[in-house]
Structure 1
Amino acid sequence: MLELLPLLFGYLIMFFGALGVVRFPDVYTRLHAATKCDTGGIMGIILGLSMIVNSWAIRTKLVILLIFIAMINPMISHAIARGAYKGGVKPKVKVDMYAWDNP
């Protein structure tokens, strides 16, 4: 029964992340919600799955997958945000601090 808590936590993070993707106004805040949703939600789900399975080989594969997702997902979202900014998509904020670095 205890192994269901990380699964439930992961599902809740995924739900609220999807809600943020729908509700946030621009690409950057939506990307932030999607990244948190992917990283946090999948980590909770994989942690719960690793508690459920009995095989050490499958647990090892799940932990390797968890580490891979934790490293790659923030880099990919940063690359997407940078590409959007370089492509001319402006954030809906009052002060654009990145404009100082990229004239």
Structure 2
Amino acid sequence: MELLQNILVGLLLLAGGGFAFFGAVGVLRFPDVYTRMHAASKSGTVGSGLLLLAVAVYAGDLGVAIRCLAAIVFLLLTAPVAAHLLSRAAYLAGYKPDPSTRLDAYGPALRRQRRSAAAAENEPG
């Protein structure tokens, strides 16, 4: 049983390290802030989650496993929100997507929001 546990821990560590490595490669190679943010947030979340899962399996203690699972849930809930807010701040600061980006869904929505805010501001009342 201990051999199987060590093999599982090793596979989880390799997978987590692989996600972290390929996320770092993506941060270095992708063309703009948005694709880099995507690579960093996705690989960081999955890689860290796999590493924490390896810790939980290796420890074999229920208390450690619960703390690791709580940290994984925390990462899954907060990392996408943080990446979204950073990307939105970059867009509002004027960082344009790479020209190879096919869809800019936020641009038209932002223009509509600004037009309706300006119209509401100009209404008498």
Name the TM tier (shorter chain). Answer: over 0.9
| Per-residue CA distance 1:60-80 (angstroms, 9 max, x = gap) | 111111100110000000000
TM-score, normalised via structure 2 length: 0.78
Q: Which residue of 1 aligns with 2:119?
A: none
> Which residue matches 1:67?
73
Rounded to whole Å, the distance in 2 between the matches of 1:38 and 1:55 is 25
- Which has the higher Rg, Structure 1 or Structure 2? 2
Residue aligned with 2:60, SS = coil
Identity %: 36
- Corresponding residue pairs, total: 103
| Cα shift readout 1:45-72 (whole Å, capped 9, x = no counterpart) | 1111111002211111111111001100
Partner of 2:21: 15
Determine which structure has greater relative contact order: mean sequence separation of CA pairs < 8 Å that are 6+ residues apart, divided by chain length.
1
Unaligned runs of 5+ in 1: none
TM-score (norm 1): 0.94
